[in-house]
Amino acid sequence: MQRSRVKDILNREAAGGPVLVQGWVKTRRSSGAVSFIQISDGSTLKDLQIVVEQSSPHYALVESLNTGCSVSVTGELVESQGRGQKYEVNAQTVQLLGPADPEEYPLQKKRHTLEFLREIAHLRPRTNTFGAMARVRNGMAYAIHRFFQERGFQYIQTPMITASDAEGAGSMFRVTTLDLQEPPRRDGAVDAAEDFFGRPTYLTVSGQLEAEIFALALSDVYTFGPTFRAENSNTSRHLAEFWMVEPEVAFCDLDGLAELAEDFLKDIFRYALDNCAEDMAFFNQWYDKSTIATLEGIINSSFERLTYTEAVKLLESSGESFEFPVAWGLDLQSEHERYLTEKRVGRPVVVTDYPRGIKAFYMRLNDDGETVRAMDVLVPRIGEIIGGSQREERPDILLERMQQAGLDAANYWWYLDLRRYGTVPHAGFGLGFERTVQFATGMQNIRDVIPFPRTPKNVEF
RNA sequence: UCCCCAGUAGCUCAGCGGUAGAGCGGGCGGCUGUUAACCGCUAGGUCGCAGGUUCGAAUCCUGCCUGGGGAGCCA
């Protein structure tokens, strides 16, 4: 007999017929002449109830089952006599596949703290919360690919090992095969020429520069892959390894990019609500009672557009007392972003045209000479979820901006070549996948929306 | 990296100078088509680590480690 998934069984039109189900025991209770086993196979949030009569030859085995055991069950699917589930399985055979010593198995029937579950990341997928998280995360990843594929974007795989520190921002993880105890030296310094690639290399912080190469050939592309930051950030919103989605669009300006970002967010949130409804309801009930209403609000409203200059004026006239100063030329702090999106507007805000001094060299300079065509999409609670810009496509201005940023243009010869040969206006943004899942599910800590979080001092799993 | 808070039983916590506690989970027994079932009994702890103060430290002090919240950096 072929194994049926719990999800498919519970979705059947009618009871009846033999079934084979396999999964892990959530709980087991006895009641006189009957024993009930709740099993889950991760295909859905719901458990399947297995009913075993005392007269069954397997009853003694069933009595010994506990949370965490894996079992294989055959039986007949019937309408449930009890409340709480539509169907249940009257067991004919119950086979123990793998025991889980109840003296040692750390998961209990009751709720655990998320902090504790992080310490047992190899077992937490078996909990309701992390099963739901995995399914929602999967659904949103699928929705992202679907969104771009339906619009004719090409999925580009950009390298994870790089020699250029994109944006000149952030600490990067060094990649090396040198003997760290006794590295080869030249003139006293470590000789990178002896290293695997013959020069210093790092884990990428962004696939943007490579995505630009393909945008200037295939027009509409996106990346979706891991990125790395060696920042010593200890917050509920930062990871050392996270997944980023980076569309890059040729013949597109910042207005077109902002439209794309808005359509994109609405589409993937819509997908999560429609296709992960059961899991989303779970998060809404247990973690953030407003998350579904928030997502529906986003889907059904248009994003507010503000220039940086307008945002600063709003903040200055807000009457709020901020911890950090607000002034034109200073970057917006978390508290400022949250005021704008949470209190002032109550929905996502797209802030554009930031001062050139606080943004990256590759962002297109406006005619005023003071601002660049950058945009941040701010959402309630998380703050910045998307950062993007129209890229500087004019070679002379790009070169000048690189020199002002203190970058060695020689290292970016290929990036400059893109402007030298057949340059076109283009724009792109980056979306932190985990922050998006975090926002959609209402989970407080980003470490709980990625299977194996990498944070400072944490790589156990 | 900075500021704040917390580390006591497998889990969640109480105790805050004078002999280590509860609930849940585990074990044993009972009971009932049960829904994180219920009832009774029971086992279980170098009080994060290292120093110090004290007649006496889980409790006070110092340092370190780990976790959490906030900030910076950012996605």
pLDDT at A381: 76
The nucleotides of chain B lying under 7 Å from a protein CB are 1-2, 10-13, 24-27, 30-37, 65-75
Whole-model pTM: value is: 0.94
Whether A51 has a pLDDT exceeding 60, the answer reads: yes
Closest by alpha carbon to A45, among A83, A85, A103? Answer: A85
Closest by alpha carbon to A35, among A79, A65, A71? Answer: A65
Q: What percent of chain A has pLDDT over 90?
A: 74
pLDDT digits (tens, 9 = 90+) for A159-214: 999 987 655 446 889 899 999 888 999 998 889 999 999 998 999 999 999 999 99
Whether A319 has a pLDDT exceeding 70, the answer reads: yes
Between the CA of A249 and the C1' of B24, what is the distance in angstroms? 55
Name the phi and psi angles at A219, rounded to 5. 75, -55
Q: Report the C-alpha gap between A77 and A87 in whole angstroms.
A: 7
Q: Report the C-alpha gap between A278 and A11 in whole angstroms.
A: 13
- Nucleotide B34, nearest residue via CA and C1': A31
pLDDT-derived band at A31, boundaries 50, 70, 90? confident
Q: Which nucleotide is nearest to A386 (CA to C1')?
A: B75
pLDDT digits (tens, 9 = 90+) for A72-126: 999 999 999 888 899 999 999 999 999 999 888 999 888 899 999 999 999 999 9
Q: Residue A323 burial by CB count (10 A; 0-12/13-18/19+): exposed, middle or buried?
A: exposed
Q: Do A305 and A284 contact (CB within 8 A), yes or no?
A: no
pLDDT at A166: 53
Q: Which nucleotide is nearest to A102 (CA to C1')?
A: B26
Q: Which nucleotide is nearest to A429 (CA to C1')?
A: B75
Q: Report the C-alpha gap between A28 and A47 in whole angstroms.
A: 12
Report chain A's C-alpha Rg in angstroms. 27
pLDDT at A167: 52
Strand-by-strand arrangement of the A220-228 sheet: A154-155, A220-228, A241-250, A426-432, A383-390, A371-379, A349-355, A304-307
